Structure 1
Amino acid sequence: MTILLTGSSRGIGAATFHALTQAGATVVGHGTASGIPADFADPAAPRALWDAAIERAGGTIDVLVNNAGIFEANPIDRDDGDWLADWDRTMQVNLTASAALCRFAVLHWQRRGVGGRIVNIASRAAYRGDSPAHWHYAASKAGMVAMTKTIARGYARENILAFAICPGFTMTGMAEDYLASRGGDKLLADIPLGKVADPAEVASVARYCALDAPASMTGAVIDVNGASYVR
């Protein structure tokens, strides 16, 4: 079982890398010292990453886990050009690059005549929104969820499965910065569990979706947010 995992250098990605390798999978990482470098702000990066991963994997990738993403404030009172540039950057990194990799994966499995799995790491922001400075982040993650459902419905008969995971706050670098800037106590009070998730908790769900989830679960969106948002 060979898995391409994006954003594997820290946080949820690093924990997922560990969980998958511990389960016996061969993981091609992205962004780590031993992984394949790719800057998803560059529209050409997903293709370069996919081709390099296929070569490293010996021609076959069985699972794609899209985890790479950015979380950068973009207040609406900024200059028009700056606001739009940062909107486009977040969409490119969080959604468009993931979409490109999903496309390459689906085409790869169709050519081989075998199934495969996609696991997209989205966010609870896809459903409940985010701060006024993060319209773009919430929109990118909502797009990821909709894309996942579309892939699941479109290719299930070919045994191409797709799952989305929607974490709430997770103790990564992005969440730590956000908690500090927005007042940690107030935000924690919004989580009935009383704590943010550990990356290993999200990674355990990603591992399950990538390796063990039954085929009938395709299209599922799994929340990991301490009941801070329930659907």
Structure 2
Amino acid sequence: MLGNIKVVAFDIDGTLYPSFSLYIRLIPYIIRHFKFYIHYNRVRRIMHRTAPLPDFYEYQGRLMAEELGCSSLRARAMIKLIAYDGLIPYFEKIKPFKHVDETFKTLREKGYKIALLSDFPPSQKGDIWGLIPYCDLILGSEAIGALKPSKYPFGVMAMAMEVEPSEILYVGNSVHFDVRGANNAGMKSAIIASPLKRMFSKKIKEADISFSNYRQFLNSVL
């Protein structure tokens, strides 16, 4: 079913750790910065539909400046302070899904290359729960110039890994951003189901692999 997969690539947020464990911790922080996040979420919706940009951060800053009625420089500083740097301490308290480390280790032992592709700066997650040594490539789509589900960051990842898109299996937690983005780029896709879908054991039809835990995923790949 998977053919000649050489690279297994992963999203980070909601894919390597449960989203709810972060959201619960963020409630006071979001309330404190509620006005900022209302505007920021509008900007991100636009950025998800925007073609690849030579300077993602500059354009995002301009959009945010229009939302907030301030200078672009001020808007970029606020995004960095609140949306990027401000979340770093919260990730220090997050634990990954069970068997993630085992999965990465086994994939490397079996000869697969491993990549990370995230819409937010991977550096925000520190050492990414000790997974960095297993990774051949770590990319943030913002730095590349376009957010998922654009085919562009997936294509850049394939070129950087020196493989054909069809030789990559991309693992995520979103049908729209991860599964469709990877499929449209010519890659195979896998999705970790939400708690509700896991409860009813529903398969995500658009993904090549639908799984509820990482041991199940590993068995599917191997």
- Structure with the greater relative contact order (CA < 8 A, sep ≥ 6): 1 or 2? 2
TM-score by length of 2: 0.31
TM-score by length of 1: 0.30
